[in-house]
Amino acid sequence: MPFELTPAEEMARKIAREYCEKYIIPRRKELMTNDQDMWDEEARRQTRAGLHLHIVPREEGGTGIGYVASCITIEELCAAWPDLAFAIYGEFAYYFAKATGGEVYEKYMPGIIKGDILATPAITEPSGGSDMLGLQATAKKVDGGWVLNGRKVFQSEGHYCDFVMTLVKTGDPNDPKTPGGRSLTAFIVDREFDGFKVGRLENTLGRKGDLTEFIFDNVFVPDSFVVGGERGIGRGIAPVFSAVGDIGRLTICGMLNGISAGAYRTAMMYAKERHLYGRPISELQMIQARMAKMVVDLEATRALTYRVAWLRTKGIRADAEQATAKNFAEQAAIRIAEHCVKIHGGYGVLEDYMPHHYYRHVPMRFGAGGTEESLGIMIANAAFNSEANPDLSHNSMETAGWWGRLEW
């Protein structure tokens, strides 16, 4: 496993950093005003600049550099401003179009490469995001397609997205013909389809009108928009889990690491500039201890995330490792952001200073991509089934003969 970035990945960081220096950092004061038009403008600019193209292979029009470059790009964007990683909605668009193929791929792909098309997963319902079998939205088969009805909540960037990948019931989990997860099917729904409506907008800790409700009111969806085609009916969980894992969870690790990196850089600069007792506070041992703790967390969280991203680029599924990286990234980010606020003393909570912006954006990422509990269940399941690989090798504990018994 390489422990250094490739020249292409270094270049991805340089490009993203230059983008932030040009378009984001000089506008931080404006971003603090929460003006919706500014977010709209920024959302398209990132994909038009091609920041979403690293997961798209070269032969399909992307850079093909891979998931590490994608995580680094998201990290740089969120270091500049903790909630500005719109590029991921271009990545989602590619992932959904690729998973569906056929007419959907043909329709959206040219716009995705140009950066004009964004998409989001529309899974969560008021009945509870963790309980997929409890989903209430339905699709009924009609001639040539399906008719969808239901409500989805917590939709990220619902105002900008051109289409969504949604998961709804096409069967009954208690019916032996469509048992459990076999009752669910994933569909692509274009926002221009009749009956697709944007409902209530929710304000979050970070932004006004941040999250959206989608309403499906007798939306007709053609057969060619079923993810996985005929075979995908009743098999919707797999593509949704892949998308939520590979793009959602992994890029949320990138977002959290960006918050950590931004808070670290901000604290470091402040510690060198702020003078007390006739010297910079960076010379005070207790401040140095905080900085050292920040470095440890930042190194560890990046290493976990980049390893998962590296595995995904090689085509290796790493669900338990991804869940591990996300759970660690959120804990590291909250600790690092807290140190940053505290190093700034009272200035840490002033509106015009960055520390509290980093701090309050961390909880925004707690639920997105899976809660700590649901990911903890995934990690524990893998551990007890010997699929988790904390040795970082292909020898599981069992094949290495490690039974934990005295007599071996």
> How are beta strands 211-222 and 145-156 bridged, if at all?
antiparallel
Q: How far is the CB of 371 from ligand FAD (least distance, A)?
A: 3
Distance of alpha carbon 38 from its chain centroid, rounded? 21
> How are beta strands 184-190 and 196-202 bridged, if at all?
unpaired
DSSP, collapsed to helix, strand or coil, labels residue 335 as helix
Q: Which residue is nearest to ligand FAD (CB)?
A: 129
Q: How far is the CB of 323 from ligand FAD (least distance, A)?
A: 12
Q: How far is the CB of 283 from ligand FAD (least distance, A)?
A: 39
Q: How far is the CB of 343 from ligand FAD (least distance, A)?
A: 27
DSSP, collapsed to helix, strand or coil, labels residue 350 as coil
Looking at the Cβ atoms of 130 and 395, the one nearer to ligand FAD is 130
Question: Cβ distance 55 to 94 under 8 Å?
Answer: yes
Looking at the Cβ atoms of 10 and 131, the one nearer to ligand FAD is 131
Q: How far is the CB of 378 from ligand FAD (least distance, A)?
A: 11
> What is the 3 state secondary structure string of 306-318?
HHHHHHHHCCCCC
Q: How far is the CB of 364 from ligand FAD (least distance, A)?
A: 5
Q: How far is the CB of 214 from ligand FAD (least distance, A)?
A: 9
Handedness of CA 313, 316, 317, 321 (dihedral sign): negative
Give the type of residue at 252.
Answer: I
Handedness of CA 128, 236, 86, 371 (dihedral sign): positive
Looking at the Cβ atoms of 46 and 282, the one nearer to ligand FAD is 46
Looking at the Cβ atoms of 51 and 123, the one nearer to ligand FAD is 123
Q: Which two tokens stand for residue 100?
A: 């569906």
Looking at the Cβ atoms of 70 and 313, the one nearer to ligand FAD is 70
What are the helix (H) ranges across 314-371? 319-343, 355-361, 364-367
Strand ranges (E), 193-342: 196-202, 211-222, 275-276, 279-280
Question: Cβ distance 15 to 8 under 8 Å?
Answer: no
CA-CA distance, 122 to 153, in Å (whole number)? 8
Looking at the Cβ atoms of 47 and 282, the one nearer to ligand FAD is 47
Q: How far is the CB of 123 from ligand FAD (least distance, A)?
A: 3
Return residues touching ligand FAD (CB under 6 A). Answer: 120-124, 128-130, 154-156, 211, 364, 367-368, 371, 373-374, 377
Q: Which two tokens stand for residue 390?
A: 């904390």
**Helix/strand/coil percentages in the chain, nearest 5:** 55, 15, 30
Looking at the Cβ atoms of 98 and 326, the one nearer to ligand FAD is 326
Q: How far is the CB of 363 from ligand FAD (least distance, A)?
A: 8
CA-CA distance, 166 to 284, in Å (whole number)? 53
Q: Which two tokens stand for residue 20?
A: 């932030």
Q: How far is the CB of 166 from ligand FAD (least distance, A)?
A: 8
The DSSP element (H or E) to which 288 belongs, if any, is: helix 285-313
Question: Cβ distance 55 to 74 under 8 Å?
Answer: no
Looking at the Cβ atoms of 40 and 60, the one nearer to ligand FAD is 40
Looking at the Cβ atoms of 39 and 270, the one nearer to ligand FAD is 39
Looking at the Cβ atoms of 94 and 270, the one nearer to ligand FAD is 94
Q: Which two tokens stand for residue 177?
A: 């013909």
CA angle 295, 300, 304 (to 5 degrees): 150
Looking at the Cβ atoms of 138 and 374, the one nearer to ligand FAD is 374
Q: How far is the CB of 213 from ligand FAD (least distance, A)?
A: 11
